[in-house]
Amino acid sequence: MKINNNKLEFNIIKNYIFIFLSRLDLTQGIWMIYFATKGMDLTKLGILEGIFHLVSFSMEVPTGVIADLWGRRVSRILGRLLAMISMLLLIFSNDFYMFALSFTILAISYNLESGAGDALLYDSLKVLGREEEYVKINGKNEMFMQIGSVAALVLGGYLGSKDYYLAFLVSAIIAGITFIQSFTFVEPADTLKSVRVVKYETVKKTNLLLSQIIDSINIIKGNKKVGFLIILINIVSILATSMFYYLQNFWKTQGNSEFTIGIYLSISSLLAGFMATKVYKLKELLKEKGIMISIPIIIALSIWGIVITSGAQVFYAIICIADSIAYVIISDYINKLIPSKNRATILSFQSMVFSFFMILLFPLIGKLGDCFSLNFSFIIMAIIASLLSVLNVYVLTTKFRSI
């Protein structure tokens, strides 16, 4: 057991490295601009992202079940393999349908990682008796994620200004490195064994997938806090993600180079990563409820700031910081409320809700940008964010006072 515990300790350290490398995707700050050079207008860009999230929506739960029943490590390995394949496919793609195929494969790779990665970390801590450290450790994860994003945005912006294909090729190589590294993780064996024993004793092997999904749905139905927190964390994430992608094109139309845009985005990521390491202190000051009330309001005001001022760079940085804080705090709360045997599946439900919102909102923003302007799209987003922040305050102060 001691040896196994030592291996689980290394899971935490290896996860920092994995997160940094997996976020070292040099295409994240330039892919919309790159696709635009291939003849994709804002509407088609919105549809491509919609396809990505439509696939994510349909595949999140099945991939989460794979992680719960056959291992978080197995799920992570498969995810990185598909990420590498997707990146290679993008290098040789020249039309909408090939881009759509690549995004489909990429979506499944994200699905395989989304619930599995968090579940692997939390269950490792749980076996070690250190789950109370999750907020602090997840804050460090967020920091490494943002540092990886900073490096990717700066280097990707630089390579994109020289040759887009270099950025995609380097990203494919890095995906291959993370694929190899994913084999080094150790499964929290006790947790996985207990899941399988229970499942095989109660249902036939062919019914494992259905049973796992039904159990997870019942857990969410039985604890309305979990459902609310899943919606809240995704509202914050959808607004931040949409601004991240469409601001690229917005700044490009203002005459900024890919490298300059990469600098704007990377500074925001760096600030967000730094603040993520201080979230546990913020939690002590404001408590979970204070943070959950404040974050949507801050994001709504920041989007309005982008709309009515010339300081989009500053207000986007604030959005990034708020998104990181919300992710660390709400993820910790959700993990405390759900059992290990359903953790990856329920966290995949969380990602599925995100995909659902993206399917609805992202193509709409692109269409409004084509028909009117991106600034008009941002106005609509600001209105939506304002209404949701008011609704969030009402729900937290009337329906979930115990949070």
Q: 100 falls in which pLDDT band (50, 70, 90)?
A: very high
Predicted local distance difference test score (pLDDT) of residue 1: 47
Residue 365 reports pLDDT greater than 70 = yes
Q: Mind listing the pLDDT tens digit for each residue in 321-333? A: 999 999 889 888 8
CB half-sphere exposure, 303, CA atoms < 13 A: 31
Residue 113 reports pLDDT greater than 60 = yes
Predicted local distance difference test score (pLDDT) of residue 216: 65
Mean pLDDT (whole number) for 269-293: 86
Mean pLDDT (whole number) for 118-140: 84
Q: What is the DSSP string of 50-91?
A: HHHHHHHHHHHHHHHHHHHHH-HHHHHHHHHHHHHHHHHHHH
Residue 213 reports pLDDT greater than 70 = no
Q: Mind listing the pLDDT tens digit for each residue in 153-189? A: 889 888 888 888 899 999 999 999 999 999 999 887 6
| CA 373/CA 369 separation, integer angstroms | 4
Residue 191 reports pLDDT greater than 80 = no
DSSP 188: -
Mean pLDDT (whole number) for 235-258: 90
Q: What is the DSSP string of 322-347?
A: HHHHHHHHHHHHHHHHS-GGGHHHHH
pTM over 0.75: no
Residue 78 reports pLDDT greater than 90 = yes
The winner for highest mean pLDDT among 35-39, 305-309, 363-367 is 305-309
Predicted local distance difference test score (pLDDT) of residue 306: 97
Exposed e or buried b per residue across 160-181, where buried means at least 16 C-beta atoms within 10 angstroms of its C-beta: bbeebeebbbbbbebbbbbbeb
Residue 7 reports pLDDT greater than 60 = yes
Residue 279 reports pLDDT greater than 70 = yes
2-398 is a CATH 1.10.3720.10 domain: no
Ranking 53-57, 207-211, 393-397 by mean pLDDT, the lowest is 207-211
Residue 267 reports pLDDT greater than 60 = yes
Predicted local distance difference test score (pLDDT) of residue 4: 63
| CA 269/CA 153 separation, integer angstroms | 9
Residue 69 reports pLDDT greater than 80 = no
| CA 278/CA 192 separation, integer angstroms | 32
Task: Give the rounded distance of the alpha carbon of 382 from its chain centre.
Answer: 21
Which pair of tokens denotes residue 249? 């094109």
Look at 189 and 391; give whichever has higher pLDDT: 391
| CA 197/CA 66 separation, integer angstroms | 16
Look at 261 and 49; give whichever has higher pLDDT: 261
